């Protein structure tokens, strides 16, 4: 079943997470395995499978990048296990520069430099995300897939910078 239909929400990258959470709790109550504890093994298995589907759908739709990937999947573009890489040379060069900057900051942490770097990365993320939103709205799915690939790179850098920042506070 389509995840958006399961949660009875509009097909969109901008999921109403409050409505999603309410519907998630309702579905969890409805299909909880305890409700069928006295039933046959087949019914118990069906309930368990439905619970797994609900959890998967919820986790997919609540995360913007996973949601975008799912939207593309609905259009026949499966990015989940692909080996396709970004072919944008300027973007790849920028990623190499970011990696070098991150390596330098890991060797010699500087809270101010980390903060500035995080700000730059966040701006790039926001710019790519806005492009992704527009491309999906315009049904430019191939372009949206390329932008999503870039966003995944940028998200990974955001995550690594956050880990680096957290490690400074652990000292």
**Domains of the chain, earliest start first:** 3-62 (1.10.287.110), 89-170 (1.20.1280.20)
pLDDT at 110 over 80: yes
Give the max Cα distance, the chain. Answer: 61
The pLDDT assigned to 127 comes to 97
Q: Which residue has the tokens 């990623």?
A: 95
The pLDDT assigned to 118 comes to 96
What is the percent of the chain with per-residue pLDDT over 70, rounded to a whole number? 97
Computed from CA positions of residues 24, 26, 27, 28, in that sequence, does the dihedral angle turn out positive or negative?
positive
In tens, the pLDDT along 29-86 reads 888 878 777 778 888 888 888 999 999 999 999 999 999 999 999 999 999 877 667 7
pLDDT at 109 over 70: yes
pLDDT at 171 over 70: no
The pLDDT assigned to 83 comes to 65
The pLDDT assigned to 80 comes to 82
Q: What is the rounded distance in angstroms from the CA atom of residue 105 to the CA atom of residue 124?
A: 19
H or E element in which residue 91 lies? helix 89-107
The pLDDT assigned to 46 comes to 86
């Amino acid at each position: 079943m389509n995840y958006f239909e399961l949660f009875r929400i509009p097909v969109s990258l901008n999921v109403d997470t409050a409505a999603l959470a309410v519907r998630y709790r309702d579905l969890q109550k409805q299909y909880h395995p305890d409700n069928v504890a006295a039933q046959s093994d087949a019914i118990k298995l069906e309930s368990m499978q439905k619970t797994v589907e609900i959890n998967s759908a919820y986790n997919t739709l609540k995360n913007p990048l996973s949601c975008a990937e799912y939207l593309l999947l609905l259009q026949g573009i499966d990015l989940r296990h692909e080996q396709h890489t970004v072919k944008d040379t300027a973007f790849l060069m920028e990623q190499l520069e970011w990696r070098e900057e991150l390596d330098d900051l890991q060797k010699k942490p500087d809270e101010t430099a980390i903060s500035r770097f995080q700000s730059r990365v966040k701006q790039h993320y926001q710019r790519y995300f806005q492009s992704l939103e527009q491309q999906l709205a315009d049904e430019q799915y191939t372009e949206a897939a390329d932008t999503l690939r870039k966003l995944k790179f940028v998200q990974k850098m955001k995550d690594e910078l956050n880990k680096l920042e957290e490690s400074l506070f652990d000292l």
